[in-house]
Chain A
Amino acid sequence: MTPGATAVDLEAAVAPSERLELDLDVFDGPFDLLVTLILKDEIDIWEVRVSRIIAEYVVRLAEREEFDLDATSQFVLLVAALLEMKSRLLLEQDVEEALDELDPEEAARELLARLVRYGQFRNAGAHLGERWALHAGRLYRAAPTPAALLRRPADDVVLPAGMLAAALAPLLEEPPRPDTSHLADLAVSLVAELRRLRTILDADGAFSFHDVAPQSRLERALTFFALLELHAQGEARLRQRRAFDDIVVTRVAPAPA
């Protein structure tokens, strides 16, 4: 597909009411104008970062209160067409580069091998056409066998009742209880942890995360959430000298009344 081949489709798909203003390196203006310029070869599609256009549209979607399905569908269609144009150009360039690297005689030899192989199948297709003309009109019996005729005795096999019981027994057994030993009840709640940390802060004025955090991973995470909550509430200041270092928590002095 050349860019021009899609001109009619794309221009028809641009909804005048749905104009997305773009501010790109190579273009500043509405999206539909950009598409038109690309189609008229006035802007090189290589210069256009489609991801930027999508990002701008997503930002705009987030800012809107209502979701317009039609407009968004048209946008997706246009972006898909742009991506297809870009990817096809990419492939065409590769093919040209590959051809440039080939010696003309070598290229001719390769092409000849392909044409000879293709010619075989073209001739085989013609042969199939002859067979088709002879046989395709043939009428074969196509009715299904009546169901009554399909009923067949089970080859004189008589199964003892015990086998049925043995086959069904596993279905009646209670399945083993799943092992839940790796699951543990959380011993502390966020409220209780906040209360505990506030008590320590009141008493000592400061503490380190390492000193107060429990051993269990989950409970340590809860303590960390409680720290964040204290910080969010403006009750404590958190300090960490470098990443993964211990966190020092100090009490924020209450503002004077």
Chain B
Amino acid sequence: MDHLARRLEALLFISPRPVATTELAAACAASEVEVTAALDALRAEFAGGRHGLELAAVGGGHTFTVADDCAEAVRELTGAQRPDDLTPALLETLAVVAYLQPVTRADVADVRGVSSEWALTSLEQRGLVEQQGRAETPGSPLLYGTGERFLKLFGLRETGELPPLEEFALSADDAAAIRARLLANAEARRS
């Protein structure tokens, strides 16, 4: 491993949160291209189960993460718990916030068709959603978005890594089935 990769390893070891490529480059007086190449070498070095750590690109930067097969021992030592699973309603609300951020409570409720106060509060308490100022609309409602914890827990470097929303569109068959059902209801209502 070259000297730059070793210095990056030291920086990532000492940093309590993910460090961006630009920050690493500035600290090592190297170009971003050089840092990216050295990070690749470092990633290869820590891959394949040779170490208890792996290099991950999450939360807007690079950081070490405990290898899956070592997590149990770490939890035993530190008492760290795996976060409670999210219900479908929470995941759905989180998806609205992640894709449309910054959003107001009303925006979320508009998409879901139900009040989402409880879901947003719950996500906020879990640190997955955070307040990001106020909208310049009547009443100045709070705006919500996702933060670093969201990226880490979903293994994302940035929200832009999420698949495009269009990929989740209903299939033509599903949409047609819904449409037929709605029209049948509308006809029954008219008669």
Report A's interface with B, CB cutoff 8 A.
104-105, 107-108, 111-112, 114-129, 131-132, 134-145, 149
Do A129 and B113 contact each other (CB < 8 Å), given the known contacts A124-B99, A139-B65? no
In contact, A105 and B169 (Cβ under 8 angstroms): no
* Nearest-CB residue, chain B, relative to A138: B65
Interface SS of chain B:
helix
Do A125 and B83 contact each other (CB < 8 Å), given the known contacts A116-B169, A138-B66, A141-B63? no
Contacts of A118 in B (CB 8 A): 111-113
Bound CA span A108–B91, Å: 27
Bound CA span A123–B13, Å: 37
Bound CA span A111–B153, Å: 34
In contact, B186 and A132 (Cβ under 8 angstroms): no
* Nearest-CB residue, chain A, relative to B168: A123
Number of inter-chain CB pairs below 8 Å: 135
Which listed residue (B58, B82, B165, B175) contacts A124, Cβ 8 A? B165
Q: Which of B145-184 contact A (CB under 8 A)?
A: 152-156, 162-163, 165-166, 168-170, 174-175, 178-179, 182-183
Contacts of B41 in A (CB 8 A): none
* Nearest-CB residue, chain B, relative to A123: B168
Distance to closest chain B CB from A138 (angstroms): 5
In contact, B16 and A145 (Cβ under 8 angstroms): yes
In contact, A129 and B16 (Cβ under 8 angstroms): no
Across chains A and B, which 5 residue pairs bring their CB atoms closest together, nearest first? Answer: A135-B155, A104-B186, A123-B168, A125-B91, A125-B92
Distance to closest chain B CB from A121 (angstroms): 5
Can you list 15 A-B contacts (CB < 8 A)?
Answer: A104-B187, A116-B169, A116-B178, A118-B113, A119-B170, A121-B111, A121-B165, A125-B94, A128-B95, A135-B154, A138-B65, A138-B155, A139-B65, A140-B152, A141-B16
In contact, B153 and A135 (Cβ under 8 angstroms): yes
In contact, A112 and B99 (Cβ under 8 angstroms): no
In contact, A111 and B182 (Cβ under 8 angstroms): yes
Number of interface residues of B (CB under 8 A): 56
B26, CB-defined interface residue at 8 Å: no
Q: Which of B17-68 contact A (CB under 8 A)?
A: 17-18, 56, 58, 63-66, 68
A sample of 4 more A-B contacts (CB under 8 A), given A112-B182, A122-B88, is A112-B178, A127-B168, A140-B63, A144-B16
Distance to closest chain A CB from B79 (angstroms): 12
Bound CA span A186–B180, Å: 83
Of B13, B15, B17, most buried by chain A (CB within 10 Å of CB) is B17
Do A129 and B88 contact each other (CB < 8 Å), given the known contacts A121-B99, A141-B63? yes
In contact, B65 and A140 (Cβ under 8 angstroms): yes
* Nearest-CB residue, chain A, relative to B185: A108
In contact, B186 and A120 (Cβ under 8 angstroms): no
Contacts of B156 in A (CB 8 A): 131
Which listed residue (B56, B63, B85, B111) contacts A132, Cβ 8 A? B85
In contact, B179 and A124 (Cβ under 8 angstroms): no
Bound CA span A127–B165, Å: 11
In contact, B186 and A108 (Cβ under 8 angstroms): yes
Q: Chain B 81-105, CB within 8 Å of chain A: the 1/0 string?
A: 0110110100111111011000000
B3, CB-defined interface residue at 8 Å: no
Contacts of A140 in B (CB 8 A): 18, 56, 58, 63-66, 152
Distance to closest chain A CB from B73 (angstroms): 10
Bound CA span A117–B100, Å: 12
Do A122 and B152 contact each other (CB < 8 Å), given the known contacts A107-B186, A112-B178, A116-B169? no
Bound CA span A120–B169, Å: 5
Do A124 and B182 contact each other (CB < 8 Å), given the known contacts A140-B65, A142-B16? no
Contacts of A139 in B (CB 8 A): 65-66, 71, 74-75, 80
Distance to closest chain A CB from B165 (angstroms): 6
Bound CA span A144–B17, Å: 8
Distance to closest chain A CB from B97 (angstroms): 10
